[in-house]
Structure 1
């Protein structure tokens, strides 16, 4: 029996791989086209795709800079690196942010920065705030620290971890935080509503942030982010869009004590809620958006 010549075998292999590559290219092209069609025509597909992109890129931008951050642990400047990454994520997702009221930023003093809470996309708001306001830090539950490498990155940029299940330990941490705000003129960013929401009014404020402000005798710096009109969780809509970040005049806590707590909360929520509603209505009118 005659053997098949080597050149025939080689030719067969070349044809086989060429056909295989061609099929792969066709399959890849069709898959990409289907993804593009689904992304542009199906808002539900776009909603989940954008959240997947946000989640993956946020994790990468938070952790990829660890080798650089480790040289100056617990330094607020480390947060500028993932904040830069967050601003790139906003561009990829088609989100733009407009800053107002920079002249109201507290100077020569620490402060408690209060921000309304709407979504995990608030991380992108922090990415905008971080380079504008020096010495920012945040409070987080201690479980986040054990979610490595993200937990390590959070620790490196100065996140303050508290044990919510241990009231005594949590209170001790908050007391130390108040001292840090005074001594290092730090800016503690907190979400006073405590829970994400997408309503027309801000939720009632929790007392924790105000206890810290009064204890440290530093001003409150309210920051209001207009409603995310580009986002609707119930309808699974996540479009490109624009939002306004407004820095309001600070609210003094000098001379206040626990007896003034309720009045301080009511005053702060009132001014923030007014700006929230007005800036949201302005956006809806300007961009003809319906949330």
Structure 2
């Protein structure tokens, strides 16, 4: 069962087809808070703003929030602050800001709504008063290709300091929705609009299915008077973040504690592997309990169908380590980055538990470090868990796979078993230090025989497995 089914029930039971649109505001609706602050901080850090511009912009943002300044004035100041900058440079900055700051602020519940609409084949779009630089990286991440925003003028690749046209604000959002409706044969009377603010009241009143999300006090009152259904998500609130940091710390403490609890078993039995098995099973249970992690597993039988094996997983989050421990339980080792050694106690605990820490920047050293894993697979019947991407990614689809995990499987003569992790970023977004409680969907695919693999056909075999991941990960938004 997918997470958030209670939230998506209305959509799951709705008619299908592109004639129905699902329109989403951005700030406060898709992400918690306001993206403008992340961009303002970056401009200050880069020295793009003079002190007087910083004061004027902060004042404008504050006054707009209090209803004392109009949106056009705020956007004009924003455009002026970008005068003379290269758009290409700003596009790169925008992507970095998304990956560093905004990706972790996406409400998983809103993402679930977006994916539910996509499964129904609805026309999904973001209509935002923000700029494309704030919205487009997130839209790309969510798989939304229709975005209407306020624009800033660019000539010869340079920002002129002027607005690029009418603002996508108030009535401007209605105009944007009408354009989408005309281009895609959408019936707005049967369509949805999700927003948190009374600034969007015109479009909320225009569509047939207004859906206030995380509404302001004023919008909540209007929604109550008009009978509009309201939802408020707390998963990315400041309080949730504070508790989430505590969960993160508790999970790491549980690793150290679990390793210490296994030492007497090693002393009494003489078996380091039995002690590791006890420690990793204990860590899996304690850490998932304190973080609120639950798994919805499809293909669980494949975890035990062919051991030893090389288990590979797409790497979305640092909580993937916990997920693998909960899935594999015993007789497995793993591979991690050498930087973990610098973490007091945690590095030692990871190495004790069977994690091989490698220098990813030194290919020759990394290959040599993994040679003992091959011997352990052959001689001790130990499985190995590896992330072939080599690092975490913000994309729904994995980065190109590196060959290390596949060489290990070939040389050890064991199968590859793909683990597809769908939404680990919901409980531990990349770039965030907090753990949120939630359910992660996991698919364990059938073992893949490597006995006929050769160096010559390895690229072809890896491409096939990458395609399996793309297919599995696309199911969450596949049209029903």
TM-score by length of 2: 0.45
The gaps in structure 1 that reach 5 residues or longer are 1-39, 286-291
Aligned to 1:123: 321
Give the drift of 1:154.
Answer: 1.5
State how far apart, in whole Å, the 1-side matches of 2:361 and 2:234 are.
46
State how far apart, in whole Å, the 1-side matches of 2:444 and 2:435 are.
25
Deviations 1:185-228 (A, max 9, x none): 21110111222223232221111111111121210000111134
Answer yes or no: is 1:100 the counterpart of 2:293. Answer: no
Aligned to 1:56: 249
Aligned to 1:136: 332
The gaps in structure 2 that reach 5 residues or longer are 1-232, 267-271
State how far apart, in whole Å, the 2-side matches of 1:277 and 1:220 are.
21
Q: Report 1:57-206 matches (<5 A).
A: 57-71=250-264, 72=266, 73=272, 75-77=275-277, 78-91=279-292, 95-107=293-305, 109-131=307-329, 134-164=330-360, 166-206=362-402
Matched residue SS, 1:98: strand
Matched residue SS, 1:189: strand
Deviations 1:165-191 (A, max 9, x none): 554443222222112112222111011
Aligned to 2:450: 253
**Do 2:428 and 2:436's aligned partners in 1 also have CA atoms closer than 8 Å?**
no
Answer yes or no: is 1:211 the counterpart of 2:407. Answer: yes
State how far apart, in whole Å, the 2-side matches of 1:161 and 1:205 are.
19
Answer yes or no: is 1:45 the counterpart of 2:268. Answer: no
Answer yes or no: is 1:270 the counterpart of 2:480. Answer: no
Give the drift of 1:160.
Answer: 1.8
Give the drift of 1:59.
Answer: 1.5
Deviations 1:2-53 (A, max 9, x none): xxxxxxxxxxxxxxxxxxxxxxxxxxxxxxxxxxxxxx86834145324412
Please give the root-mean-square deviation of Cα atoms over the aligned residues, in Å: 3.1
Q: Report 1:18-33 matches (<5 A).
A: none
Q: 1:265 to 1:49 in 2, by over 3 A?
A: same
Q: 1:124 to 1:172 in 2, by over 3 A?
A: closer
State how far apart, in whole Å, the 2-side matches of 1:243 and 1:270 are.
21
**Do 2:259 and 2:276's aligned partners in 1 also have CA atoms closer than 8 Å?**
no
Report how many residues are paired: 239
Give the drift of 1:259.
Answer: 1.1
Give the drift of 1:242.
Answer: 2.6
